[in-house]
Structures are given as structure tokens and as C-alpha cells.
């Protein structure tokens, strides 16, 4: 039954590819942003525990898998069967404790074996395979997870927290230097401008180090930083929407309000959000 349903779905996608002007014009490159968007809509449905929406979003994501494959097949790159064969072979190869004779003691050992197997498959580095296109927080988290599996990690969360403080202090030192050079004398011109450019690059680097250290600390606490920031973003939106609503209810626009009034409503919003 499921095989027939899936084949019917594949045929519908192929018909659309041939007969719909919009579908016919698409390429793997042109729909890649939409693919990412669909993946995030799946995540949003999961976060909201909305299973009716999750069903729909997984369907949209499945459409993109089949659509990308259909486009690739037209150029003789690969077929859907090749995609399925590839993932089946990978799952069997990377689970020798299930499909082979390897014995493991718990999930942690499974993860270590997984990384070892990937290196044997031709990966030059443990950190290969973490997509550059991932959101920066998520990529930092995945990189840290990967190197941790081979023993490159902090011993305890206290040391990680010290690193966070150290990085914040280094960032603050550069920020102070930048502030001292923010208003150069008229006769200093190019030299000061170049110095400020260097300080900006250094400050950007130090802020990046702060984020990286915080991601590491959140990992030690068992918190996914991408999820944490996404939920904070949603909380901010709800609270600011409350501020907007209160001001608009008074018959004024936000531009006619002031920070003091906004802060009052902001504090009120915390009772609900």
C-alpha cells in the first residue's frame, strides 16, 4: 500500500515538472532556499507540538526530496532508486552493532563508532560533513559535538564557564581600544582609519569567540543553543507584540510613545510571556 502511494506521489511530481510552467523552470539551485525553509517549518511544528501541522510540513519536505531528485534525474546525475540505495547502504554500514557483529555498551559508544566509520569512508577530518550553510550557532554546536566524540573537549562545565568569562573580557578590552580611537584628530586621517578597521576585525573575531564559548557552555548544560535562541526570539516577539498592542489601544502609534512607557508595558508582558 505504502509503495503504491509513494509511486503515485512521484508520478504526480513528474507530471508537474513536465506540464506546469513554474515547476518546469526550477533547478536544484533555485529551490534550495525553499528547501531550507520547509525544513525549518518542520522544526517549528515540532516545537509547537502541532502534529497536524507536522504531517503537512513533512509532506512539503518530502516533495522537495522528490523534486530535487526528479531534476537531477533529467540531467542523468542520479535516480530516486540511487538516493534510496545510498541511504540504505549508509544506515547498514554505520550500524554494525545492529546489522553486524560489533558489540557496543550504550549510545555514547555508538556515536564514537559512527565517527570512526565516517573517517574510514573517506572523510579527511572529523569535522568534515558539517555543512557551511548551517546557521552559525547550530554549526558551532555540531562542530563541538563532533570533536568531543574523539576526546577533544573540556573536562567540566566550570572550566568552560571560565573560558566564557575570559572571552568576554578579551572582547571588552578590544571594545575599549576601539572607543578610544572612535574620534581621531583631524591630522591623523588614514593611519587612524586603518587602525579602526583592524580593531573592527579584531572585535568581530572576539565576539565570535564569545558566541562559540557560550555555545560550548550550553552544550555542557545539555541545552541546544539554536533551540534556546529560537525560543527567545519567539518570546521577544510576543512581548513586543504586547507593547505594540497596548500603545495602539491608546490611539497612538509607536513613534508617539517613548522608551519609558514601552518599558512599563514590556515588564507587564513578562507576566504572560
**pLDDT at residue number 182:** 61
77 and 19, same domain (yes or no) = yes
**pLDDT at residue number 188:** 55
pLDDT in tens, the chain (273 residues): 788 999 999 999 999 999 999 999 999 999 999 999 999 999 999 988 999 999 999 999 999 999 999 999 999 999 999 999 999 999 999 999 999 988 888 888 888 788 788 777 877 788 888 888 888 999 999 999 999 988 899 999 999 999 999 999 999 999 988 887 665 554 455 456 657 788 889 999 999 999 999 999 999 999 999 999 999 999 999 999 999 999 999 999 999 999 999 999 999 999 999
Whole domain around residue 234: which residue ranges?
A: 228-269
**pLDDT at residue number 147:** 92
pLDDT digits (tens, 9 = 90+) for 154-207: 999 999 999 999 999 999 999 988 887 665 554 455 456 657 788 889 999 999
33 and 70, same domain (yes or no) = yes
Question: Cβ(121)–Cβ(181) under 8 Å?
Answer: no
User: In angstroms, how far is the first alpha carbon of the chain from the final one?
Assistant: 46
Final residue belonging to a domain, choices 93, 109, 141: 93
Cell for 191?
Answer: 593611519
Question: Cβ(218)–Cβ(224) under 8 Å?
Answer: yes
146 and 161, same domain (yes or no) = no
28 and 70, same domain (yes or no) = yes
10 Å Cβ neighbour count for 160?
19
19 and 80, same domain (yes or no) = yes
168 and 192, same domain (yes or no) = yes
E-strand ranges in 25-129 read none
Number of domains in the chain: 4
**pLDDT at residue number 236:** 97
7 and 42, same domain (yes or no) = yes
167 and 234, same domain (yes or no) = no
24 and 54, same domain (yes or no) = yes
Final residue belonging to a domain, choices 50, 77, 93: 93
Question: Cβ(212)–Cβ(191) under 8 Å?
Answer: no
Question: Cβ(99)–Cβ(29) under 8 Å?
Answer: no
**pLDDT at residue number 202:** 92
Q: What is the CATH number of the domain that holds 14?
A: 1.10.287.1080
**pLDDT at residue number 192:** 62
Amino acid at each position: 500500500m505504502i509503495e503504491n502511494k509513494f509511486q503515485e506521489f512521484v508520478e504526480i511530481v513528474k507530471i508537474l515538472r513536465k506540464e506546469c510552467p513554474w515547476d518546469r523552470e526550477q533547478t536544484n539551485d533555485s529551490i534550495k532556499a525553499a528547501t531550507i525553509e520547509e525544513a525549518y517549518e518542520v522544526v517549528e511544528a515540532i516545537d509547537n507540538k502541532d502534529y497536524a501541522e507536522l504531517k503537512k510540513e513533512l509532506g512539503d519536505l518530502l516533495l522537495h526530496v522528490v523534486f530535487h531528485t526528479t531534476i537531477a534525474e533529467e540531467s542523468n546525475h542520479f535516480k530516486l532508486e540511487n538516493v534510496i540505495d545510498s541511504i540504505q547502504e549508509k544506515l547498514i554500514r554505520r550500524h554494525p552493532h545492529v546489522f553486524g557483529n560489533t558489540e557496543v555498551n550504550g549510545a555514547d559508544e555508538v556515536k564514537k563508532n559512527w565517527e570512526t566509520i565516517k573517517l574510514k569512508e573517506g572523510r579527511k577530518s572529523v569535522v568534515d560533513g558539517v555543512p557551511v550553510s548551517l546557521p552559525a550557532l547550530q554549526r558551532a554546536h555540531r562542530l563541538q559535538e563532533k570533536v568531543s566524540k574523539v576526546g577533544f573537549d573540556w573536562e567540566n562545565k566550570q572550566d568552560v564557564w571560565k573560558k566564557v568569562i575570559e572571552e568576554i573580557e578579551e572582547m571588552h578590552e578590544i571594545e575599549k581600544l576601539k572607543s578610544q580611537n572612535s574620534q581621531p584628530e583631524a591630522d591623523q586621517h588614514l593611519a587612524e582609519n586603518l587602525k579602526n578597521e583592524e580593531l573592527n576585525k579584531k572585535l568581530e573575531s572576539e565576539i565570535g569567540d564569545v558566541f562559540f564559548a557560550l555555545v560550548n557552555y550550553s552544550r555542557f548544560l545539555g541545552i541546544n543553543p539554536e533551540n534556546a535562541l529560537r525560543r527567545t526570539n519567539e518570546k521577544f516577539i510576543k512581548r513586543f507584540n504586547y507593547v505594540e498592542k497596548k500603545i495602539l489601544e491608546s490611539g497612538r502609534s509607536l513613534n508617539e510613545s517613548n522608551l519609558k512607557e514601552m518599558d512599563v508595558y514590556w515588564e507587564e508582558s513578562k507576566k504572560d510571556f
